[in-house]
């Protein structure tokens, strides 16, 4: 899942990587921001809804659902092609850049984790309604706070702890809700499996993000736009190969033709559903990365939160998911948790900008004294 990719970017973003954006006119910059916002919100919401549609129409291959989450990675090569040549040269010639063997091993291990995480998400969506699934996915912010504290030395402030507690309560309400709705034919036991898999996937995804951030800091020692995209491309390539091997190893590939024939809305709809699911996930990724470098990681985080809030509402309209009182309370708690988390990010971002501005002012004063 790509709705919190901004957590992979460390706080001291390099302004030189944003220089192409700074040269834009004001209306061009706003247009670029609006396009990336649309990519992020529409991409994530469409991917989740199409995944649920695939299962509702007769699809039952969890390995295929895992496959399409990363199979569209070649789309990410498009923005990579248009990067400024100096950025690519800088990465390839950097004396601090690790050896190819180390980078390959890093991408391979991260790709395995991505494949496992995507499989858990696929199983979760199989047994849960889209709205319930999205609400449980919101707990990844709480897990992210914990893993960032353990692995990335992020402080656990009162606001962050408040966010963790509120999001945990939101997930607990979904778990104990006797009237929780799942897809037709799903037993309480399978519902519980779906809940555990989605919760586990959210935890694993947060761990993955912290490991990626740690990799940028300790291994790659560089975090430009193209380096982030390259990591996404290569880890997605590994994850796609793993899911393909899983599809053949499990024997699911043998039933794919029958699955296509039995798809309720027809064969063409079957193919288009898979294709557009793959495209949607990558569109979301492009939007997230674009907002980070055009505006800031804080702004991208805010829009990602908005996307998580929109998905359950979209599920109500598309699939007519039941929205009982407990789910409404869980959604409101999740939004409160989001606000607490985002406000802490806002405070951190403001403090960092003031510190950077003061440092720049001191440098200017020091240079004037030398003159």
- CA-closest candidate to residue 107, choices 240, 278, 282, 277: 240
Q: What is the band of 234 on the pLDDT scale with cuts at 50, 70, 90?
A: very high
pLDDT mean over 180-188: 69
Across 155-159, 240-244, 344-348, which has the greatest mean pLDDT?
240-244
Q: What is the band of 368 on the pLDDT scale with cuts at 50, 70, 90?
A: low
Radius of gyration of the chain (CA): 21
pLDDT tens by residue, 41-64: 889 889 989 998 999 898 889 999
Q: H helices of the chain, where?
A: 19-22, 26-56, 62-68, 77-81, 85-93, 100-127, 130-137, 140-151, 158-176, 188-215, 225-249, 256-262, 267-294, 297-319, 325-370
Contact 70, 284 (CB under 8 A): no
Burial of 270 (0-12, 13-18, 19+ CB in 10 A): buried
Burial of 326 (0-12, 13-18, 19+ CB in 10 A): middle
DSSP state, 264? T
Per-residue b/e over 94-118, b at no fewer than 16 CB within 10 Å? eeebbeeeebeebbeebbebbbbbb
What's the confidence (pLDDT) of residue 92? Answer: 45
For residues 246 and 64, what is the distance between their CA atoms, to the nearest angstrom? Answer: 9
pLDDT > 90: what percent of the chain? 22
Answer whether residue 14 shows pLDDT above 50: no
What are the phi and psi torsion angles at 263 (to 5°)?
-65, 125
pLDDT tens by residue, 85-105: 445 444 444 556 688 899 999
For residues 180 and 132, what is the distance between their CA atoms, to the nearest angstrom? Answer: 8
183/102: higher pLDDT:
102
Lowest mean pLDDT among 6-20, 79-93, 345-359: 6-20
For residues 331 and 321, what is the distance between their CA atoms, to the nearest angstrom? Answer: 14
Where do we find the tokens 């990465």? Answer: 91
What are the phi and psi torsion angles at 265 (to 5°)?
-95, 10
For residues 171 and 208, what is the distance between their CA atoms, to the nearest angstrom? Answer: 21
Q: What is the 3 state secondary structure string of 277-318?
A: HHHHHHHHHHHHHHHHHHCCHHHHHHHHHHHHHHHHHHHHHH
Q: What is the band of 200 on the pLDDT scale with cuts at 50, 70, 90?
A: very high
What does each C-alpha distance from 261 to 53, 59, 183, 255, 325 come to in angstroms? Answer: 16, 10, 21, 10, 39
- CA-closest candidate to residue 4, choices 140, 196, 135, 149: 140
Where do we find the tokens 């706070």? Answer: 145
Lowest mean pLDDT among 149-158, 181-190, 238-247, 332-341: 181-190
Contact 143, 206 (CB under 8 A): yes
Contact 202, 140 (CB under 8 A): yes
pLDDT tens by residue, 280-309: 998 887 887 777 666 655 566 566 666 766
For residues 44 and 36, what is the distance between their CA atoms, to the nearest angstrom? Answer: 12
Answer whether residue 22 shows pLDDT above 70: no
Contact 227, 32 (CB under 8 A): no
∠34-36-41 over CA atoms, to 5°? 95
Q: Which pair of tokens denotes residue 129?
A: 């309604």
Domain borders along the chain are 31-81+98-353
């Amino acid at each position: 899942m790509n709705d919190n990719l901004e957590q992979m970017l460390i706080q001291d973003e390099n302004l030189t990587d944003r220089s192409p954006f700074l040269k834009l006119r004001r209306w061009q910059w706003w247009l670029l921001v609006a396009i990336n916002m649309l990519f992020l919100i529409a991409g994530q919401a469409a991917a989740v809804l199409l995944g649920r549609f695939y299962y509702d129409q007769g699809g039952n291959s969890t390995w295929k659902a895992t496959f399409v989450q990363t199979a569209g990675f070649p789309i990410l090569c498009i923005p990579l092609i248009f990067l400024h040549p100096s950025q690519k040269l800088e990465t390839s010639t950097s004396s601090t850049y690790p050896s190819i063997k180390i980078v390959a091993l890093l991408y391979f291990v991260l790709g395995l984790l991505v494949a496992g995480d995507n499989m858990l998400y696929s199983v979760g969506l199989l047994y849960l309604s889209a709205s319930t699934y999205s609400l449980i996915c919101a707990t990844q912010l709480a897990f992210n706070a914990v893993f960032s504290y353990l692995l990335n030395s992020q402080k656990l402030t009162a606001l962050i702890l408040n966010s963790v507690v509120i999001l945990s309560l939101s997930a607990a309400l979904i778990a104990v809700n006797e009237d929780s709705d799942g897809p037709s034919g799903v037993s309480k036991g399978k519902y519980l499996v779906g809940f555990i898999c989605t919760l586990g996937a959210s935890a694993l995804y947060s761990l993955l993000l912290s490991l990626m951030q740690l990799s940028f800091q300790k291994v790659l020692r560089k975090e430009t736009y193209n380096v982030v995209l390259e990591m996404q491309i290569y880890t997605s390539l590994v994850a796609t190969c793993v899911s393909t091997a899983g599809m053949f190893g499990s024997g699911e590939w043998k039933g794919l033709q029958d699955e296509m024939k039995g798809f309720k809305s027809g064969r063409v709809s079957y193919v288009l559903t898979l294709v557009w699911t793959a495209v949607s996930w990558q569109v979301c990724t492009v939007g997230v990365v674009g907002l980070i470098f055009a505006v800031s990681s804080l702004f991208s985080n805010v829009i990602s939160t908005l996307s998580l809030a929109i998905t359950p509402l979209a599920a109500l309209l598309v699939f007519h998911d039941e929205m009982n009182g407990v789910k409404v309370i869980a959604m409101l708690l999740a939004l409160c948790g989001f606000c607490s988390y985002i406000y802490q990010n806002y405070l951190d971002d403001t403090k960092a900008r003031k510190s950077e501005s003061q440092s720049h002012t001191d440098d200017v004063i020091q240079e004037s004294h030398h003159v």
